[in-house]
Amino acid sequence: MSRRHAGAVALVALVALATGFVIAGQLRTQLLTPSNQVARHQALVRSVQDLEAANADDRRQIAELRHRIDALEADAATRSATTQGLREQLAQLRERAGLVAVHGPGVEVVLKSGAPGPAGAGTQGGYLVNFEDVQDVVDLLFAQGAEAIAVNGRRITPLTAFSGTEGQIVIDQGPPVTSPVKIDSIGDRNRMQAALGDPAALAGIRAREVEFELTLAFEGLPDISLPAYDSSLQAPHVAPA
């Protein structure tokens, strides 16, 4: 065999070998492709499942947070309502205790001393308005639903004490009050006026009206202003010795 012929045979063999590698590579590619697609599909399925699981967990957490927010809002609303109720009760208590200034419709009562009693009768001083007269009127007004009362501008409270002698009326530790005495009361003025005009009420004052011409006058007013209670314990009418 000549050298040229041997080279041709070798060349043909190399071409055939290269062609075989190419065909084998193509076959291998064709065989692996379906397997890769399955793996990719499975990976996508797992990813979707993982996302769905994560979304479900997020939705559960969001639902729990919403439930907690609703509970907190309900609790805050309850606390707010409770706080508002306590504030209203406190305001009412402060008003009843006379700690705040108030105004509204009511009745103004004026007590004036009358003429002296007959000489030698032992009642010469009975014509003077005394602290018991004032206290009787105040008690009557409170019994008729008065919401607030002031005597000569001094606010009356549930703890107010009345005292005095010889026509001087002392309310708590304030300065003495003398005739005429003005008693302002806020509340149902029709009810209070009816009680003040009842001949069976205020028997002591009615008797002194006849005997000593003591005067009890009253009128309903559309708006009366009363100051807050003066809690000062000073007694300016008492001078040091």
Tens of pLDDT, residues 26-80: 545 554 455 567 777 777 777 777 777 777 777 888 788 778 888 887 877 777 7
In the sheet with 148-151, reading across from the earlier edge strand, the strands are 154-155, 148-151, 181-186, 102-112, 215-226
Among 76-90, 140-154, 157-171, top mean pLDDT goes to 140-154
In the chain, pLDDT over 90 holds for what percent of residues?
35
* pLDDT(99) > 60: yes
- Topology of domain 101-226, per CATH? Alpha-Beta Plaits (3.30.70)
Name the pLDDT band for 183 (thresholds 50, 70, 90). very high
pLDDT in tens, 72-83: 878 777 777 777
Average pLDDT, the chain: 78
Q: Is 0.75 topped by the overall pTM? A: no
Residue 126 has what pLDDT?
54
| pLDDT at residue 185, as a whole number | 96
pLDDT digits (tens, 9 = 90+) for 205-232: 998 888 888 999 999 999 999 999 876 6
Burial readout 135-156 (b: 16 or more C-beta within 10 A, e: otherwise): bbbbebbbebebbbbbbbebbb
pLDDT at 103 over 60: yes
Q: pLDDT tier at 150 (50, 70, 90 boundaries)? A: very high
Is the pLDDT assigned to residue 235 strictly greater than 80? no
Question: Domain coordinates of the chain in residue numbers?
Answer: 1-96, 101-226
